Chain A
């Protein structure tokens, strides 16, 4: 039981490049979330999903897209990376019946 895993752990991009971050959970959780964490600003919600095939915007969705084609996976895409997207990205999953959030280890992204 690996819990919540994130791929990759680190990435450096140039401005304008695209990439996809993968979040996978093996706990059969219904809800999944993508957050970014910046110094002094805490965690901010980017997008979330309450079930396979559904997604919704969080607090800071601009510049990101997401997909949840399979229940266990939640992908976060950056179509054209900007330096303002330099951050640590965390994924979390939650069981609909108990509501405790479980977090992945994070992806540290630098956009030059």
Chain B
């Protein structure tokens, strides 16, 4: 059974710092992995989608990497800003299924 873990649960950093968020999964036979952002009381906004055959994806200041063999994905945020403050979630779809398993998220606070 696929299990997805995100550590740490919460993180505070000063503005301008580069940071890395972690997502670990137990079954390396994944179909894809997606990173989301969720603001308080809002829905989920897709940030990056990594297919199984890809090693990384980039969008602006965000870079997501995927290492299936070690069961890990990282989301790198460059030059963090207060507007980046939100909860970041990863979701994994295991090969051969249509189901997505979510981590419990990392709550990020960027201090001005």
Contact = CB atoms under 8 A, between A and B. Distances in A.
Interface residues on B, range: 20 to 34
B61 interface: no
Contacts, number: 53
Given A58-B99, A99-B49, A100-B34, A42 B43 contact: no
Interface string B33-69: 0101000001111100101000000000000000000
B102 A42 contact: yes
B108 interface: no
A18 to B, nearest CB: 25
Interface residues on A, range: 20 to 34
A35 B100 CA distance: 10
Which among B34, B51, B98, B104 has the greatest number of chain A C-beta atoms within 10 A?
B98
Nearest to A57: B99
Interface in A1-46: 31, 33, 35, 40-45
A45 B89 CA distance: 15
Contacts of B32: 99
Going nearest first, the 10 A-B pairs with the smallest beta carbon separation are A42-B104, A43-B102, A103-B44, A103-B43, A105-B43, A42-B102, A100-B49, A106-B43, A50-B98, A99-B32
